[in-house]
Amino acid sequence: MTEYSRLKTSRSAAIKATLDYPVIDTDVHTNDFTPAIEEYIAHYGGAQLVDALRKAESSRLNSKSNGKDWYQQTPEERQYNRTIRSPWWARVTRNTLDLATYTLPELFYERQAEQGSDYSVLFPNNVLAPTGAGPEHRQALQRAVNHYHADLYRKYSDRLTVVAGIPMNTPQEAIEELDFAVKTLGLKVANIPGGVKRPIKAIADKYPADQFPEIAKYASYIDFYGLDSEYDYDPFWAKVVELGVPVTTHYGSQGWTGRSSISNYMNNHIGHFADGSQAFAKALFFGGVTRRFPGLRVAMLEGGSDWGAHVYIHLVDRFSKRSLEGLQNYNPDLTNADELFELFERYGSEFPQAGSLSKEELTKTVLGSSFARHSRVPVGEELEDFGAAGIKTIEDIRDRWVNSFFFGSESDDRTIAAAFNDKANPLGVKINAIYSSDVGHWDVPDLTDPLAESWDLVREGVISEADFKSYVFANPYKFYTQANPDFFKGTAIESKVNNIEVPQLVTA
C-alpha cells in the first residue's frame, strides 16, 4: 500500500501545521455504496422505495428525450430533440485511494489530517436524489436517505457532519423533513434545492400533463421560494431559524437560456452554479425573506464568491437610482411642460411640426410611445422594487445581503479576490467567502491539494493572509455558529477556538 506513504505528509498538511486556527471545509462530496444504501432503504420502506430511488437518480443525472439520454441518441436525434449535453466522467477514478476515501467514512476520517482539515461538512452525491421522485414516494424516500446517512456518519461526528436533504416542493413537506432530520436524526445542516420547477397553470390547464407530457416538460417556471411563489414559505424559514439550522444549496442552471448546448458540456457548466444561486439569493432578498428572518444563514456552494460581491455592488448602485427618492427622476408628472415648450421654441427649428402642438401634447410626444406604457402609476409596493425587502438605506442592503449569505469558493478560484475587495465593495465590507473544497468531484483530482492551492493565492498576492484566515476558518465558523451557537459543541473545533477572536455581524 505505497500510496499511504503520503499520509499526513501532503503540502496541505504542511501548511495546516503552520496555522494557529482550525480549517473548516464546508463542501465535501461523498459517494454512497449502492448495495448498502439500497439494502437500508428496502428495510426502511420496501422494494418500491428502492425502485423510486433508482428512477429518481436516473432522472437527475440524465437529460432525456423520447426515453433516451444524450449518449444513447445519434447526433441527428440530439439536434432534432435539442437534447442538452449532460455531464460525463464527473467523479475521481484514476486516483484509486481518493475514490475509496469518498466512499469509506472511516478512511476519509483518517485522511482529514492529510487533507489539512479539522472539520468537514459532507454532501453525499445523492442526498437530494429523492426530490426527483414522484409525490407518492418523495417524502418517505428523502427521510430514508437522511436516516441512512445519519446512521453511517454518526460515530465520526467530532470531525464530520453530514447534511440533511430537504425537499422544498411545499413548505409543509419541508418543515416535516427538517423537523425529523434535526430532532430525530440529530443532523445540523440542511441542503435544499435552490428552486422547484412548477407548471405554468395557464398552459397546464389547457394541456394537462397526463395527455401532453412533452408540452408539460417545457411549459414550466422555477419557484425560488422568496419572490412570486405560489406558496408562503415563511413558516419554513421560521422553522429553520427556530431550530438553528444553517441552510446550504448547490443550485445550478444548466439547461437555462445560454446553457443549453446540445454538444458541449463545458459551455453549459461554466458559471452555472453562480447563475442558479444568484437567482435563488435575489428571490430571498427582494422577497423580503432576509428582512423578516435576519437570523437566517444561507450558503450557496460551488459558484464562487465574486458573484456575491457583484450583486451586492449592483444592488447598492440600483438602489441609488430606483429608491423612492431616486424614482422621482423618472416621474412623468414632474416633467416641466412650460420649460420643455420654451426649449423647443428656442432650439427646435429642425422640427417645425412641434409648433402645432400644445404644451401637453408636446410633452407626451417627447416622452415617446413608451410614455403610456411606462407612466401608469403603480400601487403600493409596486412603485419600488426594493419595497418588500424593506430597504431604506444602503446599510439595509448590507445587512440583508452581506450578513445573510455565504458563498462557497473552491480552492483554486482566483475570482475570490472580488469578495475581499473592500475598496470596491460598498461600505468597505468583505463578502463572506467560505472554503468549499468540492473534493469528491472532478474539480479536485487529489484531495490533498485544495488547502495548498488556497494558500497559493496568498503567495501570489491574490488575497492576504488575513483574508485566508477568514476564508478557511472565520467565515465558515460564523456561518454555522450564527445560525446555531452550539454547532461545534462536542466537536474537535470546540477546544481550538477558545482564544480566537471571530468577527460576527458586519456593521457600520
In 3D, which of 409, 12, 87 has the Cα closest to residue 268? 87
- What does the buried/exposed string (b/e) look like for 312-339 if buried means 16 or more CB atoms within 10 Å of the residue's CB? bbebbeebeebbeeeeeeeeeeeeeeee
Model pLDDT for residues 436-469, shown as the tens digit of each residue: 999 999 889 999 999 999 999 999 999 999 999 9
pTM of the full predicted structure? 0.93
DSSP state for residue 83 in the 8-state scheme: P
Q: What's the rounded Cα separation, in Å, for the pair 156 and 370?
A: 63
Model pLDDT for residues 75-122, shown as the tens digit of each residue: 999 999 899 998 888 888 899 999 999 999 999 999 999 999 999 999
Q: Which residue ranges of the chain lie beneath pLDDT 50?
A: 1-3, 5, 508
Instruction: Give me 404's grid cell.
Output: 445573510
Q: Which superfamily does 2-255+267-321+390-493 belong to?
A: Metal-dependent hydrolases (3.20.20.140)
Q: What's the rounded Cα separation, in Å, for the pair 175 and 233?
A: 10
How high is the pLDDT of residue 378?
A: 63
How high is the pLDDT of residue 380?
A: 58
Q: What's the rounded Cα separation, in Å, for the pair 360 and 347?
A: 18
How high is the pLDDT of residue 1?
A: 40
Q: What's the rounded Cα separation, in Å, for the pair 183 and 300?
A: 24
Contact yes or no for 264/258 (Cβ under 8 A): no
Q: Where are the domains of the chain?
A: 2-255+267-321+390-493, 327-383
How high is the pLDDT of residue 61?
A: 59
